[in-house]
């Protein structure tokens, strides 16, 4: 008998939406909407069904020509849409199943099997998108003009044409897919396996505890300085034991990125690969990174201010996220859920209704388990399904903010659920719009409920801590990546990357923060650098964008809401510049990005004013 995934019994959860959701418990998620279980018969049947669909789709190959009737193209797109949904369903199940237990041999085997299977099936469908990319402009324009009543398909096809210059011939694309499935993608699975299995030991108040990475990382927000330092030191101690392995994984990640994307596909630079995928001009990203670098002085002012509040002459890097409140109290999970849902509902009832579906459908995994994937994410698999959320809820205020963040992602997806699976997901820089906005709503909600100047200061300082981590820190990760990729291509070892990372720390903190030498190797702790090169600037993009949008919300009130909901409802069905232009935003304008920095500066100035009353 094969043992497989079974839906957890979460009788404390209600299948009803939002305001009717019973008080939830931090349990595991249910995946039965994707597959009933992970038994061999179930998986084999799903794969067989996909293979039948692919065989049927392959029959279209000989019908594709420059004079293809528009109706035939729409029919092909609908069949392709259905086929992609089936692939996403199987892939999503295997990904979520493994995330729930990264040590499960069955889950690892299934993920590898699904990856290989889908690579093979995708190769058999490549003829369709490659035909479209290589079609002459006149024929393509004729067919696009006939798709006025199919806006999702129109945008999808137009977007494919945008990337056609970086496409290879069909056979080469097939080879790349197969090599990736058993090469770089498999290596990233090994990276996840190697890091998620790590155990950390900390002695706190005389008691030695064995902890997960998320549990240790939550301690860097402890009100006790010795606990924060011990947490960082333990993180570095354990990762140092894996530094040689992780360093080699990173070198190979960079070389693979360069070999495929620059040598074979012809992208002009490593970061341009991500920019084109995000459909954001290089100019806009360059401007964003320049403006964030200009903001270091604002954050250094804040760090000096925080040092005084903590009673030290100079802030230690260990104390960067130190809370000003001396509270170690835990927030029950049920209270956190109620607070976030109520906050979303106060902005617009529909947001709370949509977010409530995550709990009602049992699509959240919030409990702490040793083999569970670290961090947090929201996974949208199919438009008509409620997204799945993974969080590791330890009861800290920061975990409440994380819950709001991930529910924001879920709401964004659900607002765009009327679109095709091909166009539902927003471009990466816009993907943070709802999540960061939800966090800001939560912060304002907490500030509004506090009359005490000291408590308000603590809440505002916590918000600036988060903005630093999202804006400046992520932008400097991207700056590090650009330098690191160049260094790797020049044949330099991982130790050389340590110095490059140390330079970014000096640029960020100047003399405002005391950074010990061990932080120079912090880069090996950052998953995105390995798994998604140049992903991180999207956080900076999203945060500064939301700061500007949120300022408009404060000024316009209810009048702001319809336009904001429409922005989210676009999903990925239009180009980012078009979506933002509709909202009055020019992402190539440094003045726009500086507007977000000015809001940060006002927050720091307010904190400086509050310090005069101490």
Give the whole-angstrom CA distance, residue 125 versus residue 84.
10
Does pLDDT of 20 surpass 60?
no
pLDDT at residue 612 in the model: 62
Handedness of CA 396, 398, 402, 403 (dihedral sign): positive
Amino acid 320: pLDDT: 95
pLDDT of residue 516: 96
Tell me the C-alpha distance between 102 and 128, whole Å.
35
Burial of 277: CB neighbours in 10 Å, binned 0-12, 13-18, 19+: middle
Res. 53: pLDDT tops 60: yes
DSSP 3-state of 17: coil
Residue 17 pLDDT: 39
Tokens 């034991």 — which residue?
Answer: 241
Q: Mean pLDDT, to the nearest integer, of 209-213?
A: 89
Residues 151-177: tens digit of each pLDDT: 999 999 999 999 899 999 999 999 998
d(CA 471, CA 468): 5
Q: What pLDDT does 14 receive?
A: 31
Q: How far is CA 76 from CA 85, 419, 455, in A?
A: 14, 17, 59
Name the pLDDT band for 370 (thresholds 50, 70, 90). Answer: confident
Choose among 309, 264, 318: nearest CA to 613: 309
Residue-level pLDDT at 19 = 42
- Tell me the percentage of the chain whose pLDDT exceeds 90: 75
Using left for φ > 0, alpha for ψ between -120 and 50, and beta otherwise, residue 212 falls in beta
Q: Which helix (H) or strand (E) holds 582?
A: helix 576-582
CB contact at 8 A, 421 and 84: yes
Sign of CA dihedral 151, 568, 392, 357: negative
Rounded Cα–Cα distance for residues 335 and 376 (Å): 19
Q: Is the pLDDT confidence value at 58 over 90?
A: yes
Q: What is the largest CA-CA distance in the chain?
A: 78
At residue 371 the predicted structure's pLDDT band, cuts being 50, 70 and 90, is confident
Q: In the prediction, which pLDDT does 182 show?
A: 87
> What pLDDT score does 12 carry?
30
* pTM value > 0.85: no
- pLDDT recorded at residue 449: 74
Per-residue pLDDT at 22 exceeds 90? no
Residue 333 CB neighbour total at 10 angstroms: 22
Mean of the per-residue pLDDT values of the chain: 91
Model confidence at 339: pLDDT above 60: yes
Q: What is the pLDDT of residue 451?
A: 57
Structure confidence by residue, pLDDT tens digits, 378-389: 999 999 999 999
Using alpha carbons, select from 4, 141, 172 the residue that is nearest to residue 70: 141
Please tell me the predicted confidence (pLDDT) of residue 197: 86
Does the structure show a pLDDT above 60 at 107? yes
Tokens encoding 213: 């990475």
Instruction: Check residue 588 and give its pLDDT.
Output: 92
Which of these, 491, 12, 498, 550, lies nearest to 246 by C-alpha position? 498
* 37-46, 366-375, 499-508: segment of lowest average pLDDT: 366-375
Q: What is the pLDDT of residue 2?
A: 29
Separation CA 199–CA 416 (nearest Å): 40
Least confidently predicted of 30-34, 66-70, 144-148, 215-219: 215-219
Q: pLDDT by residue (tens digit) across 547-580?
A: 888 888 988 999 999 999 999 999 999 999 999 9
On whether the CB atoms of residues 210 and 216 are closer than 8 A, the answer is no
Q: Give the C-alpha separation, 579 to 553, whole Å.
A: 18
- Alpha carbon distance, N-terminus to C-terminus of the chain: 68
CA angle 238, 244, 246 (to 5 degrees): 75
Q: Is the pLDDT of residue 9 over 80?
A: no
288/293 Cα distance (integer angstroms): 9
The answer on pLDDT for 396 being more than 90 is: no
User: How high is the pLDDT of residue 24?
Assistant: 78
Question: 3-state class of 201 per DSSP?
Answer: strand
């Amino acid at each position: 008998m094969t043992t497989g995934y079974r839906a957890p019994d979460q009788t404390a959860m209600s299948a009803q939406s939002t305001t009717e959701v019973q008080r939830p418990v931090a349990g595991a998620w249910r995946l039965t909407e994707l597959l009933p279980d992970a038994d061999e018969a179930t998986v084999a049947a799903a794969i067989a069904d996909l293979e039948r669909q692919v065989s049927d789709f392959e029959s279209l190959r000989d019908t594709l020509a420059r004079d293809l009737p528009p109706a035939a193209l729409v029919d092909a797109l609908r069949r392709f849409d259905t086929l992609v949904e089936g692939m996403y369903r199987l892939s999503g199940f295997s990904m979520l199943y493994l995330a729930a237990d990264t040590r499960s041999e069955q889950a690892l085997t299934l993920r590898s099997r699904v990856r290989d299977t889908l690579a093979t099936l995708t190769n058999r469908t490549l003829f369709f998108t490659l035909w479209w990319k290589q079609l002459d402009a006149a024929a393509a324009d004729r067919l696009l003009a006939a798709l006025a009543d199919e806006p999702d398909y129109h945008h999808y096809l137009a977007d494919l044409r945008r990337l056609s210059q970086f496409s290879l011939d069909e056979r080469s694309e097939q080879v790349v897919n197969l090599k990736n499935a058993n090469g770089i993608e498999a290596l990233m699975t090994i990276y996840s396996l190697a890091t998620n299995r790590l155990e950390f030991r900390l002695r706190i108040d005389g008691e030695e505890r064995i902890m997960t990475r998320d549990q240790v990382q939550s301690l860097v927000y402890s009100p006790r300085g010795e606990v924060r330092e011990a947490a960082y030191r333990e993180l570095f101690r354990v990762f140092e034991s894996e530094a040689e392995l992780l360093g080699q994984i990173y070198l190979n990640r960079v070389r693979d990125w360069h070999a495929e994307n620059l040598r074979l596909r012809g992208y002009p630079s490593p970061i341009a690969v991500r920019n084109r995928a995000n459909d954001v001009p290089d100019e806009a990203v360059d401007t964003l990174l320049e403006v964030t670098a200009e903001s270091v002085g604002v954050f250094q002012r804040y760090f000096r201010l925080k040092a005084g509040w903590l009673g030290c002459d100079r802030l230690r890097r260990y104390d960067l996220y130190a809370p000003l409140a001396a509270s170690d109290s835990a927030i029950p999970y049920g209270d956190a859920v109620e607070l976030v849902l109520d906050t979303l509902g106060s902005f617009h009832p529909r947001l709370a209704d949509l977010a409530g579906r995550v709990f009602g459908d049992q699509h959240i995994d919030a409990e702490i388990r040793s083999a569970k994937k670290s961090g947090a994410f929201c996974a949208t698999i199919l438009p008509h399904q409620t997204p799945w959320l993974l969080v590791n809820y330890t009861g800290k205020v920061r975990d409440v903010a994380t819950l709001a963040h991930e529910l924001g992602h879920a709401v964004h997806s659900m607002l765009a659920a009327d679109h095709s699976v091909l166009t539902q997901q927003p471009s990466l820089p816009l993907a943070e719009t709802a999540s960061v906005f939800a966090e800001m709503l939560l912060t304002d909600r907490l500030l509004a409920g506090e009359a005490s100047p000291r408590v308000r200061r603590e809440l505002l300082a916590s918000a600036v801590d988060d903005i630093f981590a999202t804006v400046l820190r992520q932008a400097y990760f991207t700056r590090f990546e650009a330098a690191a990729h160049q260094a790797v291509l020049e044949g330099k070892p991982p130790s050389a990357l340590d110095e490059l990372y140390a330079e970014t720390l000096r640029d960020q903190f100047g003399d405002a923060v005391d950074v010990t030498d061990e932080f120079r190797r912090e880069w090996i702790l950052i998953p995105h650098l390995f798994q998604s090169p140049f992903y991180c600037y999207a956080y900076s993009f999203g945060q500064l964008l939301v700061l500007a949008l949120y300022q408009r919300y404060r000024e316009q009130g209810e009048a702001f809401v319809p336009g904001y909901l429409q922005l989210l409802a676009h999903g990925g069905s239009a180009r980012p510049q078009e979506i933002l232009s509709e909202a009055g935003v020019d992402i190539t304008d440094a003045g726009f990005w500086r507007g977000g920095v000015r809001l940060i500066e006002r927050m720091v100035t307010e904190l400086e004013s509050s310090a005069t009353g101490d």
